[in-house]
C-alpha cells in the first residue's frame, strides 16, 4: 500500500498562484487535463492536504501515472494547477452572479456572499476550514493574500468600467485586501453567514461592507 503524503509545500503551491500557466496547463482544456484537475480538486475537498497521493489522482482520473507526472510534475505542482483552475472558475462564477445587480455597492455585497458560498465548497476553502495546519500555513503566507487581493482589485477595475486613476487603484487594493480578510474570517467563523436565512446574512454583511465602500451601514 503506498505511503500517504502528510502535507503539501504550501509556500510553493501559493507562490505565483494567479500568475500565468503552470505545468500541465500548457495543454489547455483537453479532456485528460480536465479529468486530472477534477480528480485533484475532489481529493483536496474530501481529504484536505493529507491522505492522498499522485497515484490516487491517477486512479481517479483514469490516466497512467507516467502521463500525469509528465504533464504536471510533482504533487505540489499538481495541487497548484488544480487550485489555480478552481480560482479562475471561482472569480468567473462570482462575476456572472452579480452581472445584473445594481447599484455597485449592492453588487459588491452580493458578490461577497456568493463568493463565500462558493469558497465553502471549494478545495481551497476545504483546506482552510478542515485542515488547521494547512490553514495556518496559507494564512501566514503573503502569497495567498497578495494574489487574491490583486485578482479582486482587477475584478473591481473591470466592474468599474475600465482603467482607474492611481489613487483609485490603490484604494481598490486596500478594499480588496479588507474583503479577502473578512471572507477568510467568515470561512473560519461563519456566524450569521452560516445560517439558512439569506436575507439575514445579506443585511449583516451589508452593514459591514458598505462603510468600506464609502456608503452607509
Q: How far is CA 174 from the centre of its chain?
A: 19
| First vs last C-alpha separation in the chain | 57
Tell me the average pLDDT of the chain.
77
pTM: 0.72
3-state secondary structure of 2: coil
Residue 75 located in a structural domain: yes
Residue 2 located in a structural domain: no
Residue 179 located in a structural domain: yes
Residue 166 located in a structural domain: yes
Residue 4 located in a structural domain: no
Query: Are residues 30 and 67 in contact, defined by beta-carbon separation less than 8 angstroms?
Result: no
What does the block give as the cell for 15? 507562490
Which residue range is the domain that position 43 belongs to? 10-213
Residue 25 has pLDDT above 60, yes or no: no
Give CA–CA dist 71/31, Å, rounded. 13
The residue with greater pLDDT, 135 or 37, is 37
Residue 119 located in a structural domain: yes
In angstroms, what CA-CA distances link 95 with 42, 49, 115, 184, 204? Answer: 23, 28, 9, 19, 21
Residue 107 located in a structural domain: yes
- Please tell me the least confidently modeled range out of 16-30, 54-68, 96-110, 141-155: 16-30
DSSP state of 24: T
Query: Are residues 54 and 78 in contact, defined by beta-carbon separation less than 8 angstroms?
Result: yes
Residue 5 located in a structural domain: no
Q: What is the pLDDT of residues 163-190, one digit of tens each?
A: 667 777 777 778 888 888 888 888 888 8
Pick from 22, 38, 6: nearest CA to 72: 22
Q: How many domains does the chain have?
A: 1
**CATH value at residue 71:** 1.10.357.10
pLDDT at residue 125, as a whole number = 81
Q: What is the pLDDT of residues 105-154, one digit of tens each?
A: 888 899 899 988 888 888 878 777 777 666 666 666 656 667 677 777 77
Amino acid at each position: 500500500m503506498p505511503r500517504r503524503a502528510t502535507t503539501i509545500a504550501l509556500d510553493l503551491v501559493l507562490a505565483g498562484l494567479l500568475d500565468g500557466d503552470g505545468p500541465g496547463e500548457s495543454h489547455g482544456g483537453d479532456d485528460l487535463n480536465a479529468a486530472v484537475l477534477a480528480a485533484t480538486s475532489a481529493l483536496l475537498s474530501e481529504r484536505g492536504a493529507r491522505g492522498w497521493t499522485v497515484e490516487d489522482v491517477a486512479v481517479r482520473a483514469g490516466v497512467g501515472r507516467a502521463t500525469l507526472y509528465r504533464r504536471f510534475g510533482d504533487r505540489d505542482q499538481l495541487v497548484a494547477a488544480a487550485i489555480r483552475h478552481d480560482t479562475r472558475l471561482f472569480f468567473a462564477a462570482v462575476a456572472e452572479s452579480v452581472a445584473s445587480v445594481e447599484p455597485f455597492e449592492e453588487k459588491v455585497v452580493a458578490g461577497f456572499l456568493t463568493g463565500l458560498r462558493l469558497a465553502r465548497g471549494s478545495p481551497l476553502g476545504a483546506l482552510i476550514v478542515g485542515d488547521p495546519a494547512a490553514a495556518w500555513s496559507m494564512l501566514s503566507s503573503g502569497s495567498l493574500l497578495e494574489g487574491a487581493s490583486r485578482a479582486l482589485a482587477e475584478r473591481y477595475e473591470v466592474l468599474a468600467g475600465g482603467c482607474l486613476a492611481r489613487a483609485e487603484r490603490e484604494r481598490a487594493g486596500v478594499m480588496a485586501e479588507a474583503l479577502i480578510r473578512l471572507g477568510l474570517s467568515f470561512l473560519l467563523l461563519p456566524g450569521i453567514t452560516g445560517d439558512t436565512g439569506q436575507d439575514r446574512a445579506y443585511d449583516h454583511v451589508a452593514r459591514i461592507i458598505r462603510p468600506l465602500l464609502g456608503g452607509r451601514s
